[in-house]
Amino acid sequence: MGNTFALFSANGGEMLLRWMHYFAGVVWIGMLYYFNFVQGEWFKELDADEKIKSARGIAVRTLVPRALAWFRYGALATWITGILIIGLKGHLTGGMKGLLSTGWWVWIGTGALFGTLMFLNVWLVIWPKQKIVIASAKQVAAGGTALPEAAAAGARAGVASRTNTLFSIPLLFFMGAASHLPSYVNPEFNGWTVFAFVAVIAGLLELNALKGKTDYVKMTSVRGVTHMGLLLTVILYVGLELLTK
């Protein structure tokens, strides 16, 4: 007689991890889209009206720290559970070596690379820069002057956040493709070529997040970054299909 509760089997453990991964991912990406699609646009309206401009300082001191806490810990939980799922998947299929030649890995591996860059952006760029912005707002509220580095820190955090929004679009596509896209992959494909193709594209975009201009319209507007995300998804998908046949 089989196990009464399927959740306590090896495959059930993978399902449990996926559930945790989805929950954390919804929190993380939900906060990311809130920052980019809602809060950022609202802040622009506040800045344009002197009568309500001071409301931004209140939001930065009180609302933003709470939102950033859910944002960064959602990112951490999503990344950890994602890595555990990949490891367990390898174990259940007889080892990572065999898994690396599958179509599942082509799609999920691409998504994982972008997800890892997004996770690192949260903890190493966005959060450190936003701490400067928050500290500056608190200093102003206490009667002091704004920190001179706050404006540049906020702009860099903004570009990194927009870059994460850009990355999230192909990330979500490839997560779905891993289980639901009926695509044939030749098990003899050159994995290093595939990795180089994805890594070069992701690396150049990440370099822009870290060092690029902070006023480039394609990376500072909602419409621009959304269109770029869709274009990035198409380029990656076509390239991967061609490189794995």
What string of pLDDT tens digits covers the 245 residues of the chain? 455 788 888 788 889 999 999 999 999 999 999 999 999 999 999 988 888 888 989 999 999 999 999 999 999 999 999 999 999 888 877 777 778 888 889 999 999 999 999 999 999 999 999 999 999 999 999 999 999 999 999 999 999 999 999 999 999 999 999 989 888 889 889 999 999 999 999 999 999 999 988 776 567 788 889 999 999 999 999 999 999 98
Give the other-Cβ count within 10 Å of 194's Cβ: 19
pLDDT of 59 reads: 95
In angstroms, rounded to a whole number, what is the distance separating the alpha carbons of residues 22 and 19?
Answer: 5
Which one-letter amino acid corresponds to residue 189? Answer: F
The CA distance from 16 to 242, in Å, is 34
Are 114 and 177 a contacting pair, CB within 8 Å?
no
Q: What is the pTM of this model?
A: 0.92
| Residue closest to 31 by CA, chosen among 83, 77, 71 | 71
DSSP secondary-structure letter at 183? -
Give the C-alpha separation, 192 to 199, whole Å. 10
Q: How far apart are CA 149 and CA 135, in angstroms?
A: 11
Of the candidates 224, 116, 108, the residue with the CA atom closest to the CA atom of residue 167: 116
Check residue 218 and give its pLDDT: 66
Q: CA gyration radius for the chain?
A: 21
Give the number of other Cβ atoms within 10 Å of residue 222's Cβ.
15
Amino acid 148: pLDDT: 95
Sign of the C-alpha dihedral, residues 67, 127, 24, 106? positive
pLDDT, residue 1, reads 46
The C-alpha atoms of residue 105 and residue 145 are separated, in whole angstroms, by 52
Residues making up the chain, counted from first to last: 245
- How much is the pLDDT for 182? 84
CA distance 207 to 14: 34
Residue 232 to residues 19, 27, 114, 238, Cα–Cα distance (Å): 28, 24, 12, 10
pLDDT of amino acid 207: 95
